[in-house]
């Protein structure tokens, strides 16, 4: 399963109602992204290749948002709210909040 599909599936399985549950869901999604590219790093990707993997992760997050929006076009659900929320709090924004990761990314 591709990362965007896994993220989408995780949201579809979500059954929380409280704000802290939504934060936990967001954290789960962010962690899934980290695990995605860390597997590539562990597999021996070189530093200059990591930027490609990070960009792919950012693009897969965007694809996940498009899936949520498409799902909402078909049958209006809470996924529209999630699409807006996760677009606002994207993995890319979270990634670049970490100054060390931002520095490494810019050096690649």
Per-residue tens of pLDDT for the chain, all 108 residues = 799 999 999 998 888 777 788 889 999 999 999 999 888 777 667 777 889 999 999 999 999 999 998 876 666 677 788 899 999 999 999 999 999 999 989 988
Tell me how far CA of residue 57 lies from CA of 71, 75, 78, 89, in angstroms: 21, 27, 24, 15
Predicted pLDDT of residue 70 = 86
B/e letters for 66-100, b = 16+ CB within 10 Å, e = fewer, are ebbeebbeeeeeebeebbebbbeebbeebbeeeee
Residue 24 CA to residue 40 CA, distance in Å, equals 25
Predicted pLDDT of residue 88 = 93
Predicted pLDDT of residue 43 = 67
Predicted pLDDT of residue 66 = 93
Predicted pLDDT of residue 31 = 96
Predicted pLDDT of residue 73 = 66
Predicted pLDDT of residue 29 = 96
Domain positions in the chain: 3-11+19-107
């Amino acid at each position: 399963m591709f990362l965007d599909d896994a993220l989408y599936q995780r949201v579809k399985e979500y059954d929380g109602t409280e704000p802290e549950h939504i934060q936990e869901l967001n954290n789960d999604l962010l962690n899934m992204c980290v695990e995605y590219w860390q597997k590539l790093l562990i597999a021996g990707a070189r530093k200059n290749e990591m930027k490609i993997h990070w960009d792919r992760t950012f693009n897969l997050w965007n694809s996940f948002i498009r899936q949520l929006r498409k799902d909402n076009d078909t049958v209006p659900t809470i996924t529209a709210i999630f699409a807006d929320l996760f677009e606002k709090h994207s993995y890319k924004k979270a990634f670049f909040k970490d100054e060390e990761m931002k520095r490494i990314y810019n050096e690649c």
